[in-house]
A = this chain, B = another copy of it.
């Protein structure tokens, strides 16, 4: 067996410690699969004195993570500090430019600086592996970049954030409101104290930007992703969804259209029997459609120390075996220049819930606004009557252009009889 692969880990939070634990507990398996032992020989974190519950005595300690970029004797750097800025960005760029392979779980970094990272890796003649950055323990990067490498991908869609899926699953199963379930998720540790990164869709959008770049072989561009979060979805919407045969999911979707690449993150109504509809709780899942392979779905745990460590160690084993790929599946010069399609050009069906005063003429006002913007209706739901009071009405449209729907919505929001901000949820294949 060859000499051990010497690993330096920058960041000793939950994920970093998960990697240390996996490499210790499964040392035999890892060495057999990697063809050589994998050993943590250097670490960097803020507080050297804290007891982290993992033996780290044999690793050299560095207060400054930047030292790991060039420390002699290291074969590979694991970056699990997080965040798209420095020190992560400077550290990873520096290591790559010096020809040191890097493994990271940092989706923000990869989504926001992907082109710069690819250039640095090409300059250094080395590789950046980031399986852990999307969907935790699910090897979806490998699926798109290697498993489906021969396919023209038409669509990739996924449940990419376990916090949002946990919240939606609970809202559906127990008929509860968003704020209530969010508070519980925070108590259980499934949501951060400041949950906005998750529930406003940013985390999903980082991951989708990465998947879209890989699926369509084009430069990663986080700014191209249209992002909506889940705060505005209410218990009422879940009740209407059930009646209409849908589940509500926060999806990230990237699609090849005639005009270019569409990429968006927003709550969706998906048909109950569709593959993504059935993925509940903290599970993540990704569906990809290839012209030869057909539809594939990959489902599993999208977060947590164990699944994330599993992905990082898989990348380390690839490094140990000398297996690598260009960051985005193809060399930078071979990336496609397919344009991004703006959200205003999106075409699809919509679910629209309004809270209106129950009085004569309201429905006519609403439906006229839709008609005048060229939006045609498939169905309408209204239950019971409460003259003079607030009642929900739900409208489902036929396929409509987003810009037309937005124009109709502007008019509808200005109607006196419409009491709250309308709830608009796009209807999507699962």
Within the assembled complex, what's the spacing in Å between the Cα atoms of A329 and B318? 12
Per-residue B-contact encoding for A280-318, CB less than 8 Å = 1, 0 else:
000000000011111111111100001101110110111
Given A139-B146, A313-B149, CB of A299 within 8 Å of CB of B296: yes
Is A363 in the interface zone, CB < 8 Å from B? no
Is A143 part of the binding interface, using a Cβ–Cβ cutoff of 8 Å?
A: yes
**Those of A230-285 within 8 Å (CB) of chain B:** 275, 278
B278 A149 Cβ-Cβ under 8 A = no
- Decide: A296 and B138 in contact? CB cutoff 8 A: yes
Q: Could you tell me the distance between the alpha carbons of A278 and B294 in the complex, rounded to whole angstroms?
A: 18
Residue of B nearest to A329 (CB): B33
Residues of B within 8 A of A29 (CB): 149-152, 217
User: Is B324 touching A137 in the complex (CB atoms < 8 A)?
Assistant: no
**A295 B291 Cβ-Cβ under 8 A:** no
A50 adjacent to chain B (CB < 8 Å): no
The interface size bin for chain A is 35 or more
Least Cβ–Cβ distance between A397 and chain B, in angstroms: 30
Which residues does chain B contribute within 8 Å of A30, judged by CB atoms? 149-150
For A33, the chain B residues whose CB sits under 8 A away are 145, 149-150, 217, 329-330
Chain B residues within an 8 Å CB radius of A189 = none
Q: Is the CB of A293 within 8 A of B275?
A: no
A296–B137 contact, CB under 8 A?
A: yes
CA distance A291 to B22 in the complex (A): 9
How many copies make up the complex?
2
Minimal beta-carbon separation of A281 from chain B (angstroms): 12
Q: Which of B314, B321, B325 contacts A150 (CB 8 A)?
A: B314
Which residue in B131, B150, B278 is a CB contact (below 8 Å) of A317? B150
Which residues of B have CB within 8 Å of A334? Answer: 32
Q: Which of B18, B143, B314 contacts A148 (CB 8 A)?
A: B314
Contact B307 A137 (CB under 8 A): no
Q: Give the distance in Å from the alpha carbon of A143 to the alpha carbon of B299 in the complex.
A: 12
In the complex, which residues 303-348 of chain A have their Cβ closer than 8 Å to any Cβ of chain B? 306-307, 309-311, 313-314, 316-318, 321-326, 329-331, 334
- CA separation between A18 and B296, bound complex, in Å? 19
B146, B295, B301: the one contacting A301 at CB < 8 Å is B295
Q: Which residues of B contact A295 (CB under 8 A)?
A: 300-301
Contact call A292/B310, Cβ cutoff below 8 A: yes
Given contacts A217-B32, A275-B299, A298-B297, contact A323 B146 (CB under 8 A): yes
* Given known A-B contacts A291-B26, A298-B296, A147 and B330 have beta carbons under 8 A apart: no
Take A146-B318, A331-B35 as given contacts and tell me if A26 and B152 are in contact as well, using a CB distance cutoff of 8 Å. Answer: yes
Q: Which residue of B lies closest to A302 (CB)?
A: B294
**Smallest CB gap from A136: residue in B:** B293
Pair B325/A322 contact, Cβ less than 8 Å: no
Interface pair A292/B306, CB less than 8 Å apart: yes
Pull 13 A–B residue pairs with CB atoms less than 8 Å apart, ordered by A.
A29-B150, A29-B152, A32-B217, A33-B329, A34-B149, A35-B331, A137-B290, A137-B292, A146-B318, A150-B310, A150-B316, A296-B300, A323-B324
Q: A26-B152, A30-B150 are in contact. List 20 more A-B contacts (CB 8 A).
A: A26-B151, A30-B149, A35-B326, A137-B292, A142-B143, A142-B146, A148-B314, A149-B317, A150-B309, A150-B310, A150-B313, A275-B299, A292-B307, A293-B306, A293-B311, A296-B299, A297-B297, A323-B323, A323-B324, A323-B325
Which 6 pairs across A and B sit closest by C-beta, in order of nearness? A139-B147, A150-B313, A137-B293, A296-B300, A293-B310, A32-B330
